[in-house]
Amino acid sequence: MPEGHTVHRAARDHDGDFAGQRVLVSSPQGRFPAEELVDADGRAHLERVEAYGKHLFYVFEGERVVHVHLGLFGKFFRRRTPAPASRSSTRLRLEGEAMTLELVGPTACELVSVEDMRAITARLGPDPLREDANPRRFYAYVARAKAPIGAILMDQSRICGVGNVYRAEVLHLLRVHPETPGKALPKATLRAMWRLTAGLLRRGVEEKRIVTTRGLTLAKPRERVPRHDSTHVYRRRWCRTCEGPVSTYTLRARTVHYCDACQPLEAAAE
């Protein structure tokens, strides 16, 4: 689940659940130093929760920040308070007035300072899900990059929040081959790429899952797009658009999915 949409949705939900409260903080698994954050009653005052790309920041009183990165396996379990007993693998547990949160399997869950938080976000490219995002940094880099666009989209220092699923789907919808060098892409295609990425990510935040089919509009409340129909090429054997075979190869240790017929290399590189 964890591409940018998951993280931004978590920030929104958790901010609503806990911001402004003295939250009971613990680490049933013992690998997060909750005792360094809490007062004698086991609680700490949470001011707000913020997302930047795939990074989450829980900002507590006193400029103390819990930095979370879900990695490949990380997952949240959100329940009403009082919640049932924690599973033993729970790295971080937050108990608020109405909701209780458990975090399992994250790559990062650490107590940092506000300066550390700034240093982390400073390393990231613009995030299409943030109001303050400036896509010009992305355009400027791609316009002179020899690197394939398929690699650039996954590079969090160039554009952040995009993962393997959105990469495959954005390139497919724009009919761009993943091996196209950045600088071969027309400016108009780049602008469309940013807008499409932002639109798909926003839809993901609302639907709490990645759906790139059936346009950018949200599914009707009860109309759940079946899993096998939620992407065009990602993890599919046959292209949803042309029904031809989906090709895969490994680029920087990640499997790229694309359709050779819909995304020819020449066409994209004019």
Partner DNA sequence: GCGGTATGCCTAA
Partner DNA sequence: TAGGCCTACCGCG
Catalytic residues, by residue number, are 2-3, 54, 254
Q: Which two tokens stand for residue 71?
A: 């990695």
User: Which of 136, 191, 208, 254 touches DNA by CB under 7 A?
Assistant: 254
Q: Residue 113, interface with DNA (CB under 7 A)?
A: no
Rounded least distance, CB 78 to DNA, Å? 13
Question: For the sheet containing 90-95, what is the strand order?
Answer: 75-80, 99-104, 90-95, 21-26, 43-52, 55-60, 64-69, 108-113
Question: Residue 75 interacts with DNA (CB under 7 A)?
Answer: yes
CB of 130: closest distance to DNA in angstroms? 15
To which residue do tokens 């879900």 refer?
Answer: 70
To DNA, the closest distance from the beta carbon of 250 in angstroms equals 7
Pick between residue 218 and residue 267 the one whose CB is nearest to DNA. Answer: 218
End-to-end CA distance of the chain: 35
- What single string gives the DSSP state of each residue in 235-269? T-SB-TTT-PBEEEEEETTEEEEEETTTS-HHHHT
Number of CB atoms found within 10 A of residue 67's CB: 18
Query: Is residue 21 a contact point for DNA (CB under 7 A)?
Result: no
- Interacting stretch for DNA, rule CB under 7 A, among 18-26, 141-149, 159-167, 192-200? 159-167
Residues that bind DNA (CB under 7 A): 1-3, 6, 29, 53-54, 69-73, 75, 87, 89, 91, 104-105, 107, 154, 156, 163-165, 210, 235, 252-255
